[in-house]
Amino acid sequence: MLTYDQWETAEKPSFPSDNETKGALDVLAWAYREYGDEMVYACSFGIEGIVLIDLISQVKPDAEIVFLDTGLHFQETYDTIEKVKEKYPSLRIVMKRPSLTLEQQAAQFGDELWKRDPNKCCELRKVIPLREALTGVTAWISGLRREQSPTRRHVEYINKDDKFRSVKVCPLIHWTWKDVWNYVYKHDLPYNVLHDRGYPSIGCAPCTAPAVDPNDLRSGRWAGQGKTECGLHLT
């Protein structure tokens, strides 16, 4: 088995990228053969997540999906999760919450921490909970695409994840924004209606706005704060 600790010596798989899913189904089939229940999908239920859930359901209908429920998400995001539960009843969707409630966080760090120190807020409400969710897990799946941002251009299908000491599987690296939407429309998949309102990338409500740059799909995230990632994908 390809693990974090054996990364340097283990044989790495290769996958075709010239088929209908640009390698995504091949990657997922290999990953679930390799890791089985020792792998989870950390999903934000954005549009890439909807595609991955549909692909995963074809490979492992009872896969575990972890949603980092910060308590600050849009209602539309929670509505999307309910629609996904209805469409894929066999999936095991886990709502992973931080150890601190919003009230406890405010008492310790002050009100609206996300305005004063968004990195700390993301650490408390996303990074630490994901680390907890990945305890005892060998690999996790992410919906990163190379096209999304400069920080993601060099992502591979299979990655050594030093932050979480895990293997990070990214099946959609070669998909374009158009590919994602074509797949959603073709298969009539439910998705977050905020995507139709100018939100290509959707995170917590206080830190997410409609995209300010049509050429930068993540330009509505932490706008004006010099921040582009929540920390989950930074080493």
Domains of the chain: 4-8+17-207 (3.40.50.620)
pLDDT value, residue 218: 61
Q: Are 86 and 93 in contact (CB under 8 A)?
A: no
pLDDT value, residue 96: 97
Q: pTM of the prediction?
A: 0.89
Q: Tens of pLDDT along 16-49? A: 999 999 999 999 999 999 999 999 999 999 999 9
What count of residues does the chain have? 235
State which residues of the chain have pLDDT below 50: 227-229, 231, 235
pLDDT value, residue 217: 72
43 is in an annotated binding site: no
Measured distance CA(207)–CA(116) in Å, rounded = 12
Residue 197 carries which side chain, given as an amino acid letter? R
Residue 43 is a catalytic residue: no
Q: Are 39 and 138 in contact (CB under 8 A)?
A: yes
Round to the nearest angstrom and report the end-to-end CA distance of the chain.
23
Q: Cβ neighbours of residue 173 under 8 Å, at least 6 residues apart?
A: 144, 145, 146, 155, 156, 157
DSSP state of 227: -
SS3 33: helix
DSSP state of 144: -
170 is in an annotated binding site: no
pLDDT value, residue 58: 98
Count CB-CB contacts under 10 A for residue 93: 18
Catalytic residue among 230, 231, 232, 233: 230
Question: Which secondary-structure segment (H or E) carries 141?
Answer: strand 139-141
